Amino acid sequence: MSAPVSLTKYFKTALLNRWNLLATFGGLGVALLSGFPEVLLPLVLAAEIAYVAFRGAHPKFQAYVDAQEAARQRKVGSETSAQTLQKIMQVLPKASLTRFEQLRSRCLELRQIAGELKQSDAADPRNTFDSFQLQGLDKLLWIFLRLLFTQFALAKFLERTSLERIQMDIQDTEKRLSQVPANDPSSHSQKVRHTLEDNLTTCKERLANHQKAQENHELVGLEIERLENKIRTLAELAVNRQEPDFISGQVDQVAGSMLETEKTMNELQFATGLAPLDEEIPELVFPKQINNIS
């Protein structure tokens, strides 16, 4: 069923093309005013059907439509990531922003080292670093920044939720539940017992949720340290090895090792409210949207 649906998209695009609509309505107008509409109208409609069928099935036209659709999706993804970036930069505490900026400086140094090694007299060092590797550094920084935000969101949740109070609620509910005889057949006792049991279940779920948040907070902290050390190691290796291809390969390797980290962050969307990590990655090594980080 996927093929007809895909072809329908191309046929619809060909049909709704403004030049095609202009020609079609023009032809219909001429046919109606000609005095022979019964002859010309079928010809105009037949020509339109033939055009749409030919145009929609043409490989070059299909490639054009796909390219336009991909461009629209990239634009939407870019706008989404820009909004996410703005949100993160506005709410992160100064210490986290400073930590990010220090690591971004490391990535900038790494890229500049690779650029100088490839072409020491380049006027613009951006031209000496493969765009793929530059995207790799942007991705590492984007993951790092989102990890900082995830850590911040989990910390806020833990601050607002008192573990001691949850434990006290559980103890109090268990005590009250023990005072209601389980074998009391009266309607009132059964309702009270059912309410207390439901409340106890809710309290235990809150406790499990708090413990899970605590574990996630610890895990995210370790992931931040791991990525931070990997990027610092890349910068140090770049200075010591002085090999552009080696630097690029290491960037690719580290970026590829972040799959589990990406999965972890996507699983914690409930705490952060951020979009999935597979959205468009903003430029962070040479940022256009980050301002006044201090």
Q: How many domains in the chain?
A: 2
C-alpha pair distances (Å), 102 with each of 95, 133, 231, 273: 11, 20, 11, 26
In a domain, 21, yes or no: yes
Axis crossing angle, helix 187-241 with helix 94-118, rounded to the nearest 10: 30
Nearest alpha-carbon partner for 268 in 206, 218, 202, 207: 218
Q: What is the pLDDT of residues 233-286, one digit of tens each?
A: 877 776 666 565 666 677 777 777 777 777 777 777 766 777 666 566 777 776
In a domain, 84, yes or no: no
118 shares a domain with 39: no
145 shares a domain with 30: no
143 shares a domain with 52: no
Q: What is the pLDDT of residues 95-110, one digit of tens each?
A: 999 999 988 888 777 7
Q: What is the pLDDT of residues 132-163, one digit of tens each?
A: 456 677 888 888 888 899 899 889 888 888 88
In a domain, 45, yes or no: yes
208 shares a domain with 123: yes
123 shares a domain with 9: no
230 shares a domain with 175: yes
In a domain, 217, yes or no: yes
Give residue 48's identity as a one-letter amino acid code: E
C-alpha pair distances (Å), 155 with each of 67, 95, 238: 43, 14, 35
Confidence bin at 123 (pLDDT 50/70/90): very low
225 shares a domain with 179: yes
pTM listed for this prediction: 0.60
**Residue-range definition of the domain harbouring residue 39:** 2-57
